Structures are given as C-alpha cells and as structure tokens.
Amino acid sequence: MSDTTPVTSAWAGAVPRLAARGLVHRFGDTSALAGVDVDLADGESLAVMGPSGSGKSTLLHVLAGILVPTSGTVALRGLEVQALSEKERSLLRRRRYGFVFQLGQLLSELSALENVALPAMLTGASRADAQASAGQWLAALGLAGAEGRRPGELSGGQAQRVAVARALITRPEVVFADEPTGSLDQATGHDVMQVLRDATRAVGASLVVVTHDADVAAWCDRRIDVRDGRVVAPGSTTGGGAGPRPGERDAGVLPAHLGAARVADVFGAGGAR
Amino acid sequence: MSVNPVLALAPRLQRAGGRDSRTTTLLAVTAFAVSTALTLSVVAALLGFVARADRPTTALEREVGGFYVILAVTATILLVVPLLTLGGAAARLGVARRDARLAALRLLGATPREVVGLTLVETALQGLAGAVVGTVLYGALLPVWTQVPFQGRPFTAGELWVGVPVVLLAWLVVPLLAAVSGAVSLRRVVVSPLGVAQRAARPRLRAVRAVVVVVAMGFFMIVSGIGGMPLAAFVAFLLGGLALAFLTMNAVGPWVLGLLGRLRLRTARTPAQLLAARRLLDDPRATWRVVGGLGLASFVAGCLAVVPTMASTGGGGDQDALLTADILTGALLTLTITFLLAAVSAGIAQAASVLDRRRELSLARLAGVPAELFDEARRREVLVPLLVVSVGSALAALVMFFPLFGMAAVTAPQGLLLLVGSLTVGVALVVAATEVTRPLLHRVLADTVVRAD
C-alpha cells in the first residue's frame, strides 16, 4: 500500500478526511452500532461520548480499521477502509493512524525512547534516526531526561505523554484516543489532553477521543454522543451542557515546554517518514 | 472450622478465568504431570539398582552392583535441577495469569496473607492434579522402561514399582513445592498491590558470578588430575563436583545472558532485534529459566562425551562390555529425559511470558504493530541464548574433564558424535516446544476487543 492517498489534494478541502456512513456492527445478536454517520474534517478534534456499553469504543474500533463493520463504509480521504484486507488495515494503522489507549500500551521491556522510536522503525527508519526523532518528541512533550526510563518507572501522566509521542512520531493523519485520561487524576488528565490536542494539531492530524468524561470532551472542537449504537446529540462542545472552562480550552496556550517554536523544531527535524 | 471467605474463592477463580485460565491450568498440570512421571521413573530405577545390589542374583550384580548405584545416584543428581526448574516454571505460569485478579483482590482489601493463601491453594491444587496424572503416566511408561536392558536383563515392572508410600510422598511433595514456588513468584503482588502494573528495571547481576565459575572449574580440574586417590573419595569428589557445577551454572548462567543482552542491545538494528535484546537484558533470569535446562543438559552431554572413551580404555571381558553398554544406555536415557524436561520448561516459560504481556501485546497489535514482530522477537529471545548457553556448557564440561581423560576425551569420535548429535536434538526439541506457544501468542494478539478497563 502506498502512502499517497487516492484523492488529490485539490479535493482535500471538500471531502472530509474521515467519513463514515451507515455504520452497523453486531456482536452476535447485540447491535453495538445501529447506523452511525460521522465526518472528521482536516485537523479537527472530535469527542465521542457515551456511557458504558453505548457503542462508543466499537465506533472507534470501526473508524480505526480495527473492526470491520457488519455494514456501512469508512473512507479515509476516499480510501474505503472496510474493504481492505486484515494485513492492509494493519499497515494502514501503522502508517497513517496513531493510537493512545488508557493504560498499559507501552511495551514494558523497552525504554521510553525506544517505545516512541518503535513505530518509526516499523515504517522503515533506521534505529539511529528513529531514536533521534523520538528524543526530540520526548523533549517537546516535556520528558527530556526520562528517555531511558522504563514504563514502570514513569508516572501515569508521563506514560501517557510517551504514548502521545509514540502515536505522533510517524506523523499520522488521524489520531485515535480511547479514554486517554481514564487512569489519571483530573489535573494530570487535563495536562495530557492539552498535550494530546496541541501536539496533534501541530502535526496537522485529526483527532478522535472516546471518553465518558465531559471535561475531557471539552478539549475537542466537536462532540457527538452515542447511546445504544446511535448518535443522539451531534454538535459543538460549546453548545453542550458540560462546557469547557474557558481559560483552559480556548486560550490555546501551549505549555512552555510545548511552545510553537519547539513543536516546529520537531516538525522540521525530518522525522521518521 | 470455618473457611476463610477469600480462600473459598479459589475454585471459583480457577473456573472464572475463561479460555486463558483453562489453557494455563492445562499447561501447568501437564508440566507437573511430566515432572512427576519422570521423577518417579528415575526414583524407580534408582531403587531398582539398590535392590539388585542388596540381593544380587548374578556375578555382575554382586561385584559391581554398588557401582551401578553410584551411577544411578549421579543420573538422579543430574536430573534434580531440570525437574525442579520445570516445576518452578509451571508454578510461575499459573501465577502469571492470576496476577491481575489477585492484585485486584488486594486493592479490594484482601490481606497479603489471604492473597498468598489463595495462591498457595490454587497452585497446590494444580500440583496435586499434576502429581496424580503424573503417577498414571509413570504407570503407562513402565512397559517402556522394562524394555531397556540393564545388567544383562531388563527390570521387571515389579522391580520398577516404587510402592504406595513413594507415590503418596510424591502427592504430598509436588503440591508443596508448587505452592512454595508460586508464593515466591507472588512476592511482588503482595509487596505492592499496584506492583503488577508497574514494571521497573531489575538490578544488574554482578561479575562476581563469573569468578565463581572459574574457581569451581579450576578446582575440579586440579583435583581430578591428582592420581592415587582412594576410589570412594574420588567418586564422592566426582559426584560433589557435578552437583557443584550445576549450582555454579545456575549462578553464572543469568549473568552470561545479561552480558549477551547488553551486547545485542548495542548492535540491534531491527525492532525485533531490539525487543529480543531488551527482553534478555530485562530479566536474564527469566531467559535462563527457558534455556538453562538445556544448558544443564548440554553440560551433562559434555560430561557423557567421555563415556565412550572410558569404555575404550577399559579392559576386555564380557562383564566390562556389559558395564560399558549399560553406562551408555543410562547416559542416553538421562540425556533424553533432561532434554525433554528442558523442552517442556521452555514451552511453559514462554507461555507464561506471553500471558504476562497480554495487554500490551494486544494493544500494540491494535495500533498496527505486525504480529510477525512479536513472533520474530519471541524466536530470537530463545534461539540466540539457547545456542550460546548449550554450546558454552558443553565446552565447559569438555574442559573440566580434560585432565581426567586427556586428549582422548576430546578427540574420541564417538564421544564427540554423541555430543554434537545430542546438542542438535536438544536444541531442536526446545525450539519445537517454544513453537507450541505460537498459537497462544496469536490468540492473545487477535484479541481485538480490549476494553479500556
């Protein structure tokens, strides 16, 4: 599979980056998804909210090409993801997507630096290049000095930052985050969400965050609510009941360690691709 | 007497774990069964030789019966460590799967004592099941052992029946050892309820371990080179030396593997090489548990490489020919059993390591990390240390026996053939056993619906 998309750049503005239509997914007799449409624009961040069992994680898995929907389509810039083979979807996830999970996603035997470098190595970068790029990412996310630490030696917030760096090192088109702050206290959770949103924006990726926490959803541009496998309340987060605390969301202030210049350094460093 | 409510959970936890729990229980019981069956067989042979020496019926048994007992004791010593290794691996396997639920129990407020108690009960139950199945297996193996001629006539099934007391003893000792082994590997859960999720680097092993091996080998070589020692003293020294060599190897093996890991980490270029090197460096003791059995077996093979030499230096006569043939038979049997034990240990240890990492493995798979990476890393993490350890151990044995037998021990073609042949078979067996864990790895990787729990 090539990295070039089947849709020319002239279309990019008109066509959503990720477009899902009529998604239905059944596990046996249960319908986890009962007809969902989702669009994700270039650089947009989308929160998917819902209680346990609402189908929000299934939606993420289907959008990310982990699960193939029972029916419906998922198109990444016109490329029909659900029509790809298992192997092609795995390659797609590795090359064009990034993932941040709740906990336990870092390989425990590798150092923070090696964990971040791994996806770059998997897409063909040499170990030296991948680790140099990984070092810049860690520094940009405030983890300078922690490169040699193992996942077990990192705090929850640090581990999630490492996970964010790992998701972004290949400069993916879409980042999927499944309860990325679920194992963190509120302050650390906000910290991680800010890093996740800002760093994702900095590489020009779109972001999908699955969460049951309205505070986390408030970090995103837009929010949809899923109940019983259907989208019940599409719209902007600013219109929702649990709105953002203005100072936190709208200021757009990067933490000092994630200043625009710093991210541009990483961006311009000629990463792993 | 009322049963503690947490301990009463034991059978339920056993049942509630689903497929993985059943797999690990099956693997653990199999391992306990194999070690019980082989232990009983070895003890049976030992008791058989002792009985024949006590009540000799032939001239051979009267004159060299005692020597046969010494050889049988030697073989038993050689098998003790691999047998214990297998039992320990089985106990750890069970614990690996239960870690998470036990940590949850700790967080819910179960006391350390209750958590340990629960593990003891669970692992001991598996040990007991394994011991019972192993006894049946031992019974099934009897017709095989009665085909093997010793001292000119095969043992009868009656001679090889260990008796009810020994069987009952096995049913007591196997669960006991299993429970102790399980409790030791559970320490980390008990120390901290969160300990399971937090994996930190372990302290490095010290180079002192290398000094130990050099001193021990040198001592053995010097003393065995001294002539004119009384036979009894010499035999005692030989047996003690072997036991010491085993202990030494267990001390030095992990250190050598750690060294190998550091070297490979520096030179790793691909993700699989990096992962394999890190795993080796991360916990050399864990890798030693996988390949150490074969290392010890290779050491035995190295020692046995001198047997054909001994045979050719002995005088003529039917009795000597019989003795030599018996020594070779015994040597090959010991070697075969050691290799089998090493292979089963390796398979079990890899299964435990896959289950230990199940969450991170399946999440990595979701993120698009190819299954082939983990397959290759899994193979690499065993194969390279395996070759280094087995060839190294065999060479160490050859070096140790050099003063005793001189060049003949090294150059006698039959001895070397035996060595190379058995090493090849042993490595192939271990590799085959670790391949058995491939379906388990792929099932863990294919477990796509990982809930963010």
Q: Which residues contact A45 (CB under 8 A, 6 or more apart)?
A: A197, A200, A201, A206, A207, A208, A209, A219, A220, A221, A222
% of residues, chain B, pLDDT over 70: 78
Residue B3: pLDDT band (50, 70, 90) is: low
3-state SS, one letter per residue, for chain B: CCCCCCHHHHHHHHHHCHHHHHHHHHHHHHHHHHHHHHHHHHHHHHHHHHHHHHCCCCHHHHHHHHHHHHHHHHHHHHHHHHHHHHHHHHHHHHHHHHHHHHHHHHHCCCCHHHHHHHHHHHHHHHHHHHHHHHHHHHHHHHHHHCCCEECCEECCCCCCCCCHHHHHHHHHHHHHHHHHHHHHHCHHHHHCCCCCCCCCCCCCCCCHHHHHHHHHHHHHHHHHHCCCCCHHHHHHHHHHHHHHHHHHHHHHHHHHHHHHHHHHHHHCCCHHHHHHHHHHHHCHHHHHHHHHHHHHHHHHHHHHCCHHHHHHHCCCCHHHHHHHHHHHHHHHHHHHHHHHHHHHHHHHHHHHHHHHCHHHHHHHHHCCCCHHHHHHHHHHHHHHHHHHHHHHHHHHHHHHHHHHHCHHHHHCHHHHHHHHHHHHHHHHHHHHHHHCCHHHHHHHHHCCCCCCC
Q: Provide the residue range defining the domain that includes B135.
A: 1-195
Same domain, B149 and B279: no
Q: Of the candidates B140, B161, B195, which is a domain's last residue?
A: B195
% of residues, chain A, pLDDT over 70: 80
How many CA atoms lie less than 13 Å away from A72 in the CB half-sphere?
23
- Asked if B379 contacts B387 with a C-beta cutoff of 8 angstroms, the reply is no
Candidates A221, A226, A182, A184; CA nearest to A200 is: A221
Q: Specify the higher pLDDT residue, B295 or A185.
A: A185
Flag whether pLDDT at B85 surpasses 80: no
Residue B453: pLDDT band (50, 70, 90) is: very low
Does any CB of chain B come closer than 8 Å to the CB of residue A164?
Answer: no
3-state SS, one letter per residue, for B65-79: HHHHHHHHHHHHHHH
- In sequence order, what are the beta bridge partners of A71? A24
Q: Report the Cα B226 to chain-centroid distance in Å.
A: 33
Flag whether pLDDT at B97 surpasses 50: yes
Instruction: Determine the residue of chain B that is closest to A57 in CA distance.
Output: B451
Candidates B350, B423, B414, B340; CA nearest to B381 is: B350
Flag whether pLDDT at B301 surpasses 70: yes
Among B50-59, B72-81, B197-206, B286-295, the range of highest mean pLDDT? B50-59
In this prediction, residue A71 carries a pLDDT of: 94
Q: Specify the higher pLDDT residue, B139 or B193.
A: B139
Q: Averaged over B99-119, what is the pLDDT? A: 71
Q: Of the candidates B162, B195, B228, which is a domain's last residue?
A: B195
In this prediction, residue A43 carries a pLDDT of: 92
**Which of A98, A121, A182 shows the shortest C-beta gap to B271?**
A121
Q: Averaged over B319-338, what is the pLDDT? A: 81
- Asked if A104 contacts B363 with a C-beta cutoff of 8 angstroms, the reply is yes
Show the tokens assigned to B306.
Answer: 């001198």
Q: Number of A:B CB contacts under 8 A?
A: 96
Asked if B370's CB is within 8 angstroms of A106's CB, the reply is no
Q: Chain A closest CA to B372's CA: distance in Å?
A: 11
How many CA atoms lie less than 13 Å away from B56 in the CB half-sphere?
14
% of residues, chain A, pLDDT over 90: 61
In this prediction, residue A273 carries a pLDDT of: 35
Query: Does the interface predicted TM-score (ipTM) exceed 0.90?
Result: no
Burial of A3 (0-12, 13-18, 19+ CB in 10 A): exposed
N-terminal to C-terminal alpha carbon distance within chain B: 38
Q: Chain A closest CA to B188's CA: distance in Å?
A: 13
Flag whether pLDDT at B54 surpasses 60: yes
Instruction: Determine the residue of chain A that is closest to B196 in CA distance.
Output: A152
Q: Averaged over B68-85, what is the pLDDT? A: 80
Mutation target among B204, B264, B273, B278 for the A interface, most CBs of A within 10 A: B278
Q: pLDDT tens digits for A49-75?
A: 988 888 898 999 999 999 999 999 999
Q: pLDDT tens digits for B414-429?
A: 777 778 888 888 889 8
DSSP state of A17: S
Residue B199: pLDDT band (50, 70, 90) is: very low
Same domain, B107 and B1: yes
| Candidates 3.40.50.300, 1.10.390.10, 3.30.420.40, 3.90.380.10; CATH matching A41-64+86-268 | 3.40.50.300
Helix (H), strand (E) at residue A211: strand A206-211
Q: With H, G, I as helix, E, B as strand and everything else as coil, classify residue A136.
A: helix
- Asked if B277 contacts B385 with a C-beta cutoff of 8 angstroms, the reply is no
Residue B217: pLDDT band (50, 70, 90) is: confident
Q: Specify the higher pLDDT residue, A256 or B381.
A: B381
Q: Chain A closest CA to B392's CA: distance in Å?
A: 27
Q: Chain A closest CA to B106's CA: distance in Å?
A: 18
Q: Averaged over B131-149, what is the pLDDT? A: 94
Q: Which residues contact B281 (CB under 8 A, 6 or more apart)?
A: B258, B261, B262, B264, B265
Residue A163: pLDDT band (50, 70, 90) is: very high
Q: Report the Cα B290 to chain-centroid distance in Å.
A: 8
Q: Specify the higher pLDDT residue, B44 or B434.
A: B44
Q: Of the candidates B176, B195, B214, which is a domain's last residue?
A: B195
In this prediction, residue A76 carries a pLDDT of: 95
Flag whether pLDDT at B361 surpasses 70: yes
Same domain, B352 and B443: yes
Same domain, B219 and B270: yes
**Which of B359, B366, B373 shows the shortest C-beta gap to A66?**
B366
Same domain, B400 and B315: yes
Flag whether pLDDT at B405 surpasses 90: no
Q: How far apart are CA A133 and CA A266, in angstroms?
A: 7
Same domain, B282 and B174: no
In this prediction, residue A272 carries a pLDDT of: 37
Q: pLDDT tens digits for A74-85?
A: 999 989 999 999
DSSP state of A255: P
- Domain total in chain B: 2
Flag whether pLDDT at B62 surpasses 90: no
Residues 141-160 of A with CB under 8 A from B: 150-153
Candidates A208, A133, A204, A137; CA nearest to A173 is: A204
- Asked if A154 contacts A107 with a C-beta cutoff of 8 angstroms, the reply is no
Q: How far apart are CA A11 and CA A252, in angstroms?
A: 29
Please list every residue in chain B whose beta carbon sits closer than 8 Å to the beta carbon of residue A98.
367
Q: Averaged over B210-226, what is the pLDDT? A: 74
Q: How far apart are CA B438 and CA B429, in angstroms?
A: 15
Q: pLDDT tens digits for A207-227?
A: 999 998 899 999 999 999 999
Same domain, B180 and B254: no
Q: pLDDT tens digits for B161-198?
A: 999 999 999 999 999 988 887 777 666 544 444 444 34
Show the tokens assigned to A265.
Answer: 């350094």
In this prediction, residue A247 carries a pLDDT of: 38
Instruction: Determine the residue of chain A that is closest to B366 in CA distance.
Output: A66
- Asked if A132 contacts A113 with a C-beta cutoff of 8 angstroms, the reply is no
In this prediction, residue A245 carries a pLDDT of: 40
Asked if A67's CB is within 8 angstroms of B274's CB, the reply is no
In this prediction, residue B27 carries a pLDDT of: 82
Q: Averaged over A112-137, what is the pLDDT? A: 95
Please list every residue in chain A whose beta carbon sits closer than 8 Å to the beta carbon of residue B365.
90
Asked if B270's CB is within 8 angstroms of A66's CB, the reply is no
**Which of B198, B269, B278 shows the shortest C-beta gap to A110?**
B278
Asked if A178's CB is within 8 angstroms of B452's CB, the reply is yes
In this prediction, residue A236 carries a pLDDT of: 52
Q: Chain B closest CA to A251's CA: distance in Å?
A: 30
Same domain, B116 and B213: no
Neighbours of B283 (CB within 10 A): 20
Q: How far apart are CA A237 and CA B223, in angstroms?
A: 83
In this prediction, residue B150 carries a pLDDT of: 87
Same domain, B219 and B351: yes
DSSP A62-87: HHTTSS--SEEEEEETTEEGGGS-HH
Q: How far apart are CA B67 and CA B401, in angstroms?
A: 20
Range with the poorest average pLDDT among A134-143, B71-80, B188-197, B392-401: B188-197
Q: Is residue B320 part of a domain?
A: yes
Range with the poorest average pLDDT among A122-131, A253-262, B18-27, B321-330: A253-262
In this prediction, residue A146 carries a pLDDT of: 92
Same domain, B189 and B254: no
Q: Averaged over A158-183, what is the pLDDT? A: 93
In this prediction, residue B289 carries a pLDDT of: 74
Mutation target among B188, B196, B199 for the A interface, most CBs of A within 10 A: B199
In this prediction, residue B141 carries a pLDDT of: 93
Q: Specify the higher pLDDT residue, B276 or B210.
A: B276
Residue B21: pLDDT band (50, 70, 90) is: low
Same domain, B189 and B224: no
Q: Is residue B200 part of a domain?
A: no
Residues of B with a Cβ under 8 Å from any A Cβ are 197-201, 268-271, 274-275, 278-279, 282, 357, 359-360, 363-370, 373, 448-452
Same domain, B147 and B229: no
- Asked if B309 contacts B415 with a C-beta cutoff of 8 angstroms, the reply is yes
Does any CB of chain B come closer than 8 Å to the CB of residue A265?
Answer: no
Range with the poorest average pLDDT among A126-130, A168-172, B378-382: B378-382
Q: Specify the higher pLDDT residue, A1 or B157.
A: B157
**Which of A67, A94, A101 shows the shortest C-beta gap to B363?**
A101
Please list every residue in chain A whose beta carbon sits closer than 8 Å to the beta carbon of residue B197.
103-104, 152
Asked if A93's CB is within 8 angstroms of B199's CB, the reply is no
Q: With H, G, I as helix, E, B as strand and everything else as coil, classify residue A57.
A: helix
Q: How far apart are CA B385 and CA B264, in angstroms?
A: 11
Residue A5: pLDDT band (50, 70, 90) is: very low
Please list every residue in chain B whose beta carbon sits closer than 8 Å to the beta carbon of residue A209.
none
In this prediction, residue B450 carries a pLDDT of: 46
Please give the model's pTM, rounded to 2 decimal places.
0.76
Q: Averaged over A101-109, what is the pLDDT? A: 85
Mutation target among A68, A107, A118, A168 for the B interface, most CBs of B within 10 A: A107
Flag whether pLDDT at B9 surpasses 70: no
Strand A71-76 relative to strand A18-27: parallel, antiparallel, unpaired?
Answer: antiparallel
Among B32-36, B207-211, B232-236, the range of highest mean pLDDT? B32-36
Range with the poorest average pLDDT among A61-65, A245-249, B394-398: A245-249
Q: Which residues of B192-207 are buried (b: 16+ CB within 10 A; e: fewer)?
A: ebebbbebeeeeebee
Neighbours of A156 (CB within 10 A): 18
Identity of the residue numbered A258? L
